[in-house]
A and B are shown apart, each in its own frame.
Chain A
Amino acid sequence: MNCRAEVLEISVEGRQVEEAMLAVLHTILLHRSTGKFHYKKEGTYSIGTVGTQDVDCDFIDFTYARVSSEELDRALRKAVGEFKDALRYSGSDGIGQISLEFYQKKKSRWPFSDECIPWEVWTIKVNVVNLANEQERQICREKVGEKLCEKIINIVEVMNRHEYLPKMPTQSEVDNVFDTGLKDVQPYLYKISYQITDSLGSSVTTTMRRLIKDTLAL
């Protein structure tokens, strides 16, 4: 099974990085999350309900819908915050990318650790621009808003191609497919990583892999 890869590119101002990344990541996770599974006897299960809420951006003329889960929001904000700080302090020209990878776990026998098999990777390439005056910033607000609208439409088009999705797991295997650690929503297993590109175009030592789920469990 080949991993599906989608790449999105966007140019934003420094203060817009966080909101733009959150908008894209939340939109993707909205489509890749379900309600909590509640398994019952006889092999049946019930699926909880996913709530949604709107988020207005402060630095972009844009509003997006996200899953109404504070835990998920905190996790994404933490990852995006690290990416934003890395962009700011890396000394590079403000070029970086953040990746959202959905994966499945495949149990391996001891002593081998479980294998993580990605089935969908979303890469968002960010180019941070510096603006000189308030007028340019205002124009940037609107333009980035329009660009994000296009990205959301792109994401929706990809999501509705109905390509490969992991099969609904049994109760014993649900943790291999879904992140069951959140109390109010159940996204597919995912991890977020980012890379900062220096002015030469090569990735620097700030490559990090950030696991939302406890990596020690692997």
Chain B
Amino acid sequence: MFTKCYRGFSGSMEPAAWSSWGLPSAKQIKASISITLRRFKLQDSFYEIKREFNLAIKDIPEVTHEAKKALAGQLPAVGRSMCVEISLKTSEGDSMELEIWCLEMNEKCDKEIKVSYTVYNRLSLLLKSLLAITRVTPAYRLSRKQGHEYVILYRIYFGEVQLSGLGEGFQTVRVGTVGTPLGTITLSCAYRINLAFISTRQFERTPPIMGIIIDHFVDRPYPSSSPMHPCNYRTSGEENGAAYPSVEDSQEVCTTSFSTSPPSQLSSSRISYQPAALGVGSADMGYPVIFAGGLNAAHPHQLIVPGKEGGVPPVPSQPAHGTQADHERMVMCTPLDGALYSAATPSSSEDTETVSNSSEGKSGSPHNLLETIFVRKVGAFVNKPINQVTMASLDIPFAMFAPKNVELEDNDPMVNPPDSPDVESPLQGSLHSEGSSGSSTGNTHDDFVMVDFKPAFSKDDILPMDLGTFYREFQNPPQLSSLSIDIGAQSMAEDLDSLPEKLAVHEKNVKEFDAFVETLQ
């Protein structure tokens, strides 16, 4: 009936309004599949269709580039399926495969089918089904919540489908099947059911190096020949310094943006460290997506995030930043395989952590070093003057406010307000000059165990006067004068005595009070 059927744009059709919460795997899969399907040499007229089957899909140039590279000019064939693996990687380096999308081709041909009409429409339907299915897999919900604790990675590869990483009981969904004159295309998804995380740490931790503070950021270009490299969705710059070419001339290049929950300052610095990298996704993604070509046994990613450890080195008596030296550790690392990952992990330990990496590398990435900035955090309620340690050892809440004389009958501060501490409070020390306070209370630090302090709802403590800093500085405020025994006791008696006089005065002014009340009504 029609000799040619080609696509154009509806004049009134606007490009799709992409949500900022799109799933990266859908984009990669769509891009990969679109590229694969476009390469099918089915009919000359097929090549005239330059869009992805009547669907407004914003291609990510980097993803398209990677997909094309993975395709390497070939099509899926029997035993050589195109697979997109979606995995999760935590801030500690543990990873878990979440789902695998597989585009297979078998030899069952349908010679009679019309390409420009039937096959085209069915492929369009397949893409719509792909859109629908990508929102219902468990990985989608995980991807919506990624951030500091974990990120979602993807990898494109050709060959046999590797489902062993999905754990037991994984489920498979066949998205759709389209018969073509060259073979039958089948798109399926296998996704993990058991989301219990199992540590798959495959790297070694080296002993921490003490006292290292690295506070400069180095941009790490990614090796061009490595099969695994980050997908950082940069609008410009790649391993060769050239921007990824647009997929289609008339297609709008998807600019990257990070529009999900407000990034912490650490995330911001992470973004700056990896330019438009982890913190940047496509317009419909609001989370960092890292493209790793694959995580192999020789995973070079080494990120040391020890928990609370003993052997805390003594704090210098005159720390550079004052009595309560507040530092943060921000660990960023670039795995040797090119998978880019960074995390801010304030730890309970002090500057005993270190950064290390393996010297292995598939393609000899020149940037294997992990940068670490060590900042020590002082825990709450741990910085007390020496003479109050004994009181604290009695395990009394707010022991510093308790009266020094423990022989009092009633230690209830409400009844017997504690004396104002005679010693210099840490607050005073911190409020006054940093240098002098450091020397005066420096000796008190020896008895204290540094506890990592993470105030709730606070951002990572990079900038001064953040919530954590504020809390630490003002955690030991001076006593209120009204709570002191002398003043408190005397004022109570005086108040009681003066009550009748005050009542008499108020009774005289009853009319004024009534008039005031009437004005309020």
Q: In the complex the two chains form, what is the Cα distance from A27 to B133 in whole Å?
A: 10
Q: In the complex the two chains form, what is the Cα distance from A71 to B475 in whole Å?
A: 58
Is B18 a contact partner of A53 (Cβ separation < 8 A)? yes
Is A48 a contact partner of B10 (Cβ separation < 8 A)? yes
Cβ-based interface call for A111 (8 A)? no
Is A168 a contact partner of B132 (Cβ separation < 8 A)? no
Is B17 a contact partner of A53 (Cβ separation < 8 A)? yes
- Which A19-75 residues sit within 8 Å CB-CB of chain B? 27, 30-31, 34-36, 38, 42-54, 56, 61-65, 68
Given A47-B8, A49-B13, the answer on whether A31 and B19 have CB atoms closer than 8 Å is no
Q: Which of A4-12, A133-141, A156-164 contacts B (4 or more CB under 8 A)?
A: A156-164
Is A27 a contact partner of B13 (Cβ separation < 8 A)? no
Q: In the complex the two chains form, what is the Cα distance from A27 to B131 in whole Å?
A: 10
Cβ-based interface call for A152 (8 A)? yes
> What B residues does A61 contact at CB under 8 A?
141
Is B14 a contact partner of A53 (Cβ separation < 8 A)? no
B114 to chain A, nearest CB (A): 11
Q: Looking at A38, A42, A46, A52, which has the most chain B CB atoms within 10 Å of its CB?
A: A52
Cβ-based interface call for B496 (8 A)? no
Number of interface residues of B (CB under 8 A): 50
- Which A151-200 residues sit within 8 Å CB-CB of chain B? 152-153, 155-157, 159-160, 162, 165, 168, 170, 183-184
CB-contact partner of B129 in A36, A51, A160, under 8 A? A160
Q: Looking at A48, A56, A157, which has the most chain B CB atoms within 10 Å of its CB?
A: A48
Given A52-B55, A160-B175, the answer on whether A30 and B10 have CB atoms closer than 8 Å is no
Cβ-based interface call for A149 (8 A)? yes
B132 to chain A, nearest CB (A): 5
Q: Which of B62-70, B120-128, B458-466 contacts A (4 or more CB under 8 A)?
A: B120-128
Number of interface residues of A (CB under 8 A): 42
Residue in A closest to B176 when the chains form the complex, CB atoms:
A160
> What A residues does B125 contact at CB under 8 A?
31, 159-160, 162
Given A27-B132, A49-B54, A168-B117, the answer on whether A63 and B21 have CB atoms closer than 8 Å is yes
Is A53 a contact partner of B16 (Cβ separation < 8 A)? yes
Is A38 a contact partner of B133 (Cβ separation < 8 A)? no
CB-contact partner of B14 in A51, A54, A62, A153, under 8 A? A51
B277 to chain A, nearest CB (A): 24
Is A52 a contact partner of B13 (Cβ separation < 8 A)? no
Q: Looking at B10, B21, B129, which has the most chain A CB atoms within 10 Å of its CB?
A: B10
Q: Looking at A34, A156, A183, which has the most chain B CB atoms within 10 Å of its CB?
A: A156
> What A residues does B16 contact at CB under 8 A?
51-53, 68
Is B132 a contact partner of A48 (Cβ separation < 8 A)? no
Q: In the complex the two chains form, what is the Cα distance from A173 to B58 in whole Å?
A: 33
> What A residues does B132 contact at CB under 8 A?
27, 30-31, 64-65, 152, 155-156
Is A64 a contact partner of B135 (Cβ separation < 8 A)? yes
Is A184 a contact partner of B12 (Cβ separation < 8 A)? yes
Cβ-based interface call for B226 (8 A)? no
> What B residues does A148 contact at CB under 8 A?
136
Is A49 a contact partner of B133 (Cβ separation < 8 A)? no
Given A153-B173, A155-B132, A170-B1, the answer on whether A160 and B13 have CB atoms closer than 8 Å is no
Q: In the complex the two chains form, what is the Cα distance from A85 to B448 in whole Å?
A: 65
> What B residues does A30 contact at CB under 8 A?
128, 131-132
> What A residues does B135 contact at CB under 8 A?
54, 63-65, 152
Is B10 a contact partner of A38 (Cβ separation < 8 A)? yes
B108 to chain A, nearest CB (A): 14
Q: In the complex the two chains form, what is the Cα distance from A43 to B16 in whole Å?
A: 29
A125 to chain B, nearest CB (A): 20
CB-contact partner of B136 in A44, A152, A160, under 8 A? A152
A10 to chain B, nearest CB (A): 14
- Which B288-303 residues sit within 8 Å CB-CB of chain A? none
Cβ-based interface call for B6 (8 A)? yes
Is B131 a contact partner of A52 (Cβ separation < 8 A)? yes
> What A residues does B18 contact at CB under 8 A?
53
> What B residues does A62 contact at CB under 8 A?
136
Is A31 a contact partner of B140 (Cβ separation < 8 A)? no
Cβ-based interface call for B148 (8 A)? no
Q: In the complex the two chains form, what is the Cα distance from A149 to B189 in whole Å?
A: 14
B55 to chain A, nearest CB (A): 6
A122 to chain B, nearest CB (A): 14
- Which B15-32 residues sit within 8 Å CB-CB of chain A? 15-19, 21-22
Given A30-B131, A160-B126, the answer on whether A184 and B13 have CB atoms closer than 8 Å is yes
B3 to chain A, nearest CB (A): 7
A178 to chain B, nearest CB (A): 13
- Which B465-485 residues sit within 8 Å CB-CB of chain A? none
Given A156-B133, A170-B1, the answer on whether A49 and B56 have CB atoms closer than 8 Å is yes
Per-residue 0/1 for B174-189: is the Cβ within 8 Å of any A Cβ (1 yes, 0 no)? Answer: 1111100000000000
Is B19 a contact partner of A54 (Cβ separation < 8 A)? yes
What 9 additional pairs, Cβ within 8 angstroms, besides A51-B17, A63-B140?
A: A34-B54, A43-B3, A45-B5, A46-B7, A65-B135, A68-B17, A149-B137, A162-B122, A162-B125
Q: Report A's interface with B, CB cutoff 8 A.
A: 27, 30-31, 34-36, 38, 42-54, 56, 61-65, 68, 148-149, 152-153, 155-157, 159-160, 162, 165, 168, 170, 183-184
10 A-B interface contacts by CB (under 8 A)? A38-B11, A44-B6, A48-B9, A48-B10, A53-B17, A65-B132, A68-B17, A155-B132, A157-B174, A168-B2
Q: Report B's interface with A, CB cutoff 8 A.
A: 1-19, 21-22, 51, 54-56, 117, 121-122, 124-126, 128-129, 131-137, 140-141, 144, 173-178, 284
Closest 6 CB pairs of A and B: A48-B10, A51-B16, A46-B8, A160-B176, A149-B136, A54-B19
